[in-house]
Amino acid sequence: MTHEPLVLGIETSCDETGIGIVRGTTLLADAVASSVDEHARFGGVVPEVASRAHLEAMVPTLRRAAETAGIRLSDVDAVAVTSGPGLAGALLVGVAAAKALALGLDKPLYGVNHLAAHVAVDQLEHGPLPEPCLALLVSGGHSSLLQVTDLTLGVDPMGATIDDAAGEAFDKVARLLGLPFPGGPHIDRVAAEGQITIDFPRGLTSRRDLERHRFDFSFSGLKTAVARWVEAKERAGEPVPVADVAASFQEAVCDVLVRKALDAARERGIEDLMIGGGVAANSRLRAMAVERAAAAGVRVRVPRPGLCTDNGAMVAALGAEMVARGRTPSALDLPADSSLPVTTVLS
């Protein structure tokens, strides 16, 4: 191939229909249609509603992306799609669309891991990932620390959450505080007006826990601690200082994430940390990581907030890397795998 590959990426693992188009590591289009408003009144994503919304949004979003990028679909060199993990019915819509495009255009198909795509997207902003590099992946359904060398070949998991994901904790605590769904961005906004006045627990940081769970996370105890604290205030008939609770909770989550990521970097002698996934959009996490990493001699890379939450560009970015590194494309009977492990980057 004489030019950098033009790759179209399709993302439908949850409630965002994303179509991204990249040429190599250059982003040409990132069209996203979200069904989040349709789920808000249920306080969480309703799988059937998400699948139907993907079906309705697929073709218009595809058209919008191609128009923005100024390409014809026949110009595309490869089609990449999130094959998992995610909601089964939602994944199926994207995988079916990708197969139809790959077959119709007679172009290779790459079924890629959504979590690895959250890592790959950073290359669109900051160029190739250093090898090795540490990835702190914090999203709505996952929280992991990964060592990454060649992302297309796999990842080396160092730790993960043993209960709730970081984003899940943000969403649950937001609900408790009466903030809308999804709660992460609302906690971020409200916390900016509050003070860190409450010392909430830092999960899996005691000496005993560190022996077994050095690089693992736990957020369900923190969520319960926040719930108890709020209940006690309400029982006493006192107003709940929502902004202070949000700021204190956010501080506890970010503190553990950054602390463990930098410990892992030190242990492995790795000097580059990338942070990806929806929670990487959090302003406090970004500021704290930059500040503490500088003191530890570690460089930090975080994509801009719009590329942290789900989108098609991240899938296209990983697909383009697959093409550039000469990986074998997926078969046309590629299945959607709702529980695809983080270690399977290409299916």
The residue ranges that bind ligand ATP (CB under 6 A) are: 13-14, 86, 114, 139-142, 167, 170-171, 182-185, 188, 277-279, 281-282, 309-310
Residue among 76 and 249 whose Cβ is closer to ligand ATP: 249
| CA–CA gap between residue 85 and residue 108 (Å, rounded) | 21
Ranges within 95-114 binding Mg ion (CB under 5 A): none
Residue among 206 and 224 whose Cβ is closer to ligand ATP: 224
| CA–CA gap between residue 114 and residue 146 (Å, rounded) | 14
Shortest approach of Mg ion to residue 310 CB, angstroms?
4
Q: For residues 334 and 95, is the Cβ–Cβ distance under 8 A?
A: yes
Please count the residues of this chain forming the interface with Mg ion, following the rule CB under 5 A.
2
| CA–CA gap between residue 315 and residue 113 (Å, rounded) | 8
| 3-class DSSP state of 158 | strand
Q: Which does 279 bind (CB under 5 to 8 A by kind): ligand ATP, Mg ion, none?
A: ligand ATP
Shortest approach of ligand ATP to residue 219 CB, angstroms?
11
**296 to 325: interface string for Mg ion, x by CB under 5 A:** --------------x---------------
Instruction: Please report how many Cα atoms fall inside a 13 Å half-sphere around the Cα of residue 146, on the Cβ side.
Output: 29
Shortest approach of ligand ATP to residue 15 CB, angstroms?
7
Within the chain, strands assigned E span 6-11, 16-23, 26-34, 78-84, 109-113, 133-138, 143-148, 156-160, 272-276, 299-301
Exposure string of 32-53, with b = 16+ CB inside 10 Å and e = fewer, is bbbbbeebeeeeebbbebbbbb
| CA–CA gap between residue 243 and residue 201 (Å, rounded) | 18
**122 to 161: interface string for Mg ion, x by CB under 5 A:** -----------------x----------------------
Residue among 77 and 251 whose Cβ is closer to ligand ATP: 251
Q: Which residues form the interface with Mg ion (CB under 5 A)?
A: 139, 310
